[in-house]
Amino acid sequence: MENSLFQVQGAGLGLRRALLDSLKAHIPEQVGFLEVAPENWIDVGGAIGRKFSAVAEQVPMTAHGLSLNIGGPAPLDERFLYRIKNFLDQYDIRVYSDHLTYCADDGHLYDLMPIPFTEEAVQHVVKRIHQVEEIIERPFVIENASYYAAPSNELSEIEFINAVLQEADCQLLLDINNIYVNSINHQYDSEEFLKALPSERIAYAHIAGHYNEDIDLIIDTHGADVIDPVWKLLEVAYQEFGVFPTLLERDFNIPPMSELVGEVDMILNLQQKYLGQKNASQHA
Average pLDDT, the chain: 88
* Distance in angstroms (rounded) separating the CA atoms of residues 127 and 206: 25
- The pLDDT confidence band at residue 220, using thresholds 50, 70 and 90, is low
For domain 11-282, say whether CATH 3.20.20.150 is its number. Answer: yes
Does residue 107 carry a pLDDT above 50? Answer: no
- Domain boundaries in the chain? 11-282
Instruction: Judge whether 171 and 141 are in contact, CB under 8 Å.
Output: yes
pLDDT of the residue at 110:
41
**β pairing state of 102-104 and 108-113:** antiparallel
Does residue 283 carry a pLDDT above 50? Answer: no
